[in-house]
Amino acid sequence: MVRQEQQHQHRMDGPWILEAVPLMVVGLITAHVVALVSYRKTTSKKKSPLVCHSLAVIIIRNLYASPAGNSGFSSAGATWYGGPNGAGSDGGACGYGNAVGRSPFSSMISAGGPSLYKSGKGCGSCYQVKCTAHSSCSGEPVTVVITDECAGCVSESTHFDLSGTAFGAMAISGQEQQLRNAGVLQIEYQRVECNYPGTNIVFKVDAGSNPHYFATLVEYEEGNSDIASIDLQDSSASADWRPMQQLWGAVWKLDSDPSLTGPLSLRLKSSTGEMLVALNVIPAGWGAGATYRSAVNFNE
């Protein structure tokens, strides 16, 4: 989304005016016709041509008024949970564990209502959030990551249950606690690309994994789309790509008979159709509970 917005801004700064000229001419003619009709219908009030022209100018301004500064943002409800300067819960319903308090998440996280959590498919997605409805709001957007579920957050169609750290980050500097004391806020949000410079996708093998059952947590995927599917390929002679199933949160699994032969490759497909392969990312002799870093990410 950030990339799309930048492209749009470039068009506004460049040759867009050439495309807009015909529309402006049509708008100008239309406005003068409307003004003239209004003038003729109200001749008893003796409007002058100058008044008629002024009316046309007003119409033109309405036709070509700049969009609101909040273009791209939508409304949502927001609360916060956990410690005032904490990371919400210790990992929550996505499975990230205590990584939520460390870089790159750095406690700037949120539990999402059903429309954000998406039965786990929303885990790892990034949003800008900002508030203007309280005197302590800065009005400046901050970026948060969905790392948990707020199943009971259904009073609005979209709801963020932010960490205390993220909630306070929407405040004017020095007024974080005053904003947290508000408890419930109406905020604005928009989906944005996740961006973790120097960090590629990480796979944390589930502690219960074995050669017949492989499950892994997927972390730190960049971009602004969700993971739609993951396939696994082992190194056996007849190896084909086999679809994994989302187990819960950001954890995907595969039951295998015969047993899996390492190394293992994982193929990820995003909800926008982008595909990448982490070739041999899980080595031969892999261990349950181990973490393996890939050399790929969606923004590369």
pLDDT category of residue 283 using cuts at 50, 70 and 90: very high
pLDDT category of residue 71 using cuts at 50, 70 and 90: low
Average pLDDT, the chain: 82
Say what the pLDDT of residue 183 is: 87
Residue 285 pLDDT exceeds 90: yes
Cα separations (Å) of 75 from 90, 130, 224? 28, 10, 19
Say what the pLDDT of residue 281 is: 98
Asked if 190 and 142 touch (Cβ cutoff 8 Å), the reply is no
Cα separations (Å) of 232 from 49, 164, 228, 264? 75, 38, 14, 7
Say what the pLDDT of residue 70 is: 53
Asked if 266 and 232 touch (Cβ cutoff 8 Å), the reply is yes
Residue 12 pLDDT exceeds 60: no
Listed by start position, the domains of the chain span 74-191, 202-293
- pTM, whole model, 2 decimals? 0.76
For the record, the structure tokens of 17 come out as 């005016």
**Better-predicted residue by pLDDT, 4 or 105:** 105
Say what the pLDDT of residue 165 is: 97
Say what the pLDDT of residue 271 is: 94
Residue 25 pLDDT exceeds 50: no
**Better-predicted residue by pLDDT, 87 or 52:** 87
Coil vs helix vs strand at 240:
coil
Least confident of 69-73, 86-90, 101-105, 236-240: 69-73
Say what the pLDDT of residue 81 is: 95
Which among 283, 254, 244, 279 is positioned nearest to 265, based on CA atoms?
A: 279
- Per residue in 137-195, pLDDT (tens digit) is 999 999 999 999 999 999 899 999 999 999 999 999 999 999 999 989 999 999 999 99
* Portion of the chain with pLDDT greater than 70, in percent: 76
Say what the pLDDT of residue 237 is: 78
Residue 269 pLDDT exceeds 50: yes
Say what the pLDDT of residue 238 is: 78
DSSP 8-class letter at 108: -
pLDDT category of residue 22 using cuts at 50, 70 and 90: very low
Residue 102 pLDDT exceeds 60: yes
Q: How far is CA 58 from the centre of its chain?
A: 38
Indicate the CATH number for domain 74-191: 2.40.40.10
Look-up: residue for tokens 């005032």? 84
The fold adopted by the segment(s) 202-293 is Immunoglobulin-like (2.60.40)
Residue 282 pLDDT exceeds 70: yes
